[in-house]
Structure 1
Amino acid sequence: MTTDSIEQLLVEGVQELYYTEQQLVDALDQLADQTGTESVSQAFSKHRGETQQQVDRLEQVFEALGEEPEAREDIVVTAMIDEHDQFAGENDGEVLDRYNMAVGQKTEHYEIAAYGNLASLAEKAGHDEAADLLVETLREEQEALEQLTDASEQFDTQQIAGD
């Protein structure tokens, strides 16, 4: 991938996040349905609604950048979804629940890194409105990670106590 400017790098990053969030809307439904731990299933469902709002917010970012919304495949996200699908096809129960929590945490870390980098880049490039929108989503992703981490820790504690 050849990118000619920082502006183009910013736009391509937003395009990849747009793809990511669109993919995660569907993936979060699947995770919520697959996960037998009620608190984690609810966290996935709640974050699905937030993720749809994040898709809408990214459309506002495109507008602030003077660009049309366009998704650009993020091969990392595609690989994570493919890996999850394969694992879920071969496993179930508590193992799948814990795996789903780990996948959720990995995804949140990835999104936090992407949003943080793009918010900083947008700010430095003078796109204050876009930067503010990206920071808003960054905060939501950080909160989602915290909630998922708490639920995972509770799950682990219950599983260890139950053994």
Structure 2
Amino acid sequence: MTTDSTEQLLVDGLKELYYTEQQLVDALETLADQTDDEDAREAFSEHREETQEHVNRLEEVFSQLGEEPQEKSEKVVDALIEEHEEFASENDGEILDRYNIAAGQKTEHYEIAAYGNVTSLAQKLGHDEASDMLAETLREEQSALDELSQAGEQFDQQATADD
């Protein structure tokens, strides 16, 4: 991949995030459907709605930059989804619940890094409104990670209490 400007680096990052968010809308629905743990299921459902808002927000950022919203496939996201599908086909119950929480955390870490990068680039390039919108999504991703981490801790405490 050859990129000849910081502006193009920003646009490419936005395309990857646009792909990521659209993939995650479906993946979060799957996670919510597969998860028996109520706290984790609720976190996945809430974040699915928020993720759809992220798609819409990215479309607005593209518009502000004078770009058409486009996807650019992201190997990391594809690998996370493939890894999850394989695990879910072979496991269920509490093991799958805990795995789903961890999969959600991995995804949030990736998104936090990606949004941190595009937010910084947008700010550097003087796209202040786009930077503010991306920073808002970054905060929401951090909040989603916190919520999943809390659900994981509660799940682990409950599992320990049940043993």
The TM-score, its normalising length taken from structure 2, stands at: 0.99
CA distance in 2, matches of 1:95, 1:118: 35
Aligned to 1:78: 78
Aligned to 2:46: 46
CA distance in 2, matches of 1:19, 1:102: 21
Q: Which amino acid aligns with 1:125?
A: L
List runs of 5+ in structure 1 lacking aligned partners: none
Q: What SS does structure 2 have at the residue aligned with 1:67?
A: coil
CA distance in 1, matches of 2:135, 2:80: 24
Aligned to 1:36: 36
Shift, 1:134, TM fit: 0.4
CA distance in 1, matches of 2:63, 2:53: 15
| Cα deviation 1:112-132 (Å, max 9, x = unaligned) | 010011101100011111101
Q: Does residue 156 of structure 1 match 2:156?
A: yes
List runs of 5+ in structure 2 lacking aligned partners: none
CA distance in 2, matches of 1:103, 1:16: 19
Q: Which runs of 4+ in 1 moved over 6 A?
A: none
Mapping of residues 19-34 of structure 1, within 5 Å = 19-34=19-34
Aligned to 2:67: 67
CA distance in 2, matches of 1:123, 1:52: 24
Q: Does residue 117 of structure 1 match 2:117?
A: yes
Aligned to 1:16: 16
Mapping of residues 129-148 of structure 1, within 5 Å = 129-148=129-148
Q: What SS does structure 2 have at the residue aligned with 1:28?
A: helix
Shift, 1:161, TM fit: 1.1
Shift, 1:79, TM fit: 0.6
| Cα deviation 1:44-102 (Å, max 9, x = unaligned) | 00000000000000001101111000010011000100010000001111110000000
CA distance in 2, matches of 1:112, 1:120: 12
CA distance in 2, matches of 1:102, 1:96: 10
CA RMSD of the aligned region, Å? 0.5
Q: Which amino acid aligns with 1:106?
A: K
Identity %: 68
The TM-score, its normalising length taken from structure 1, stands at: 0.99
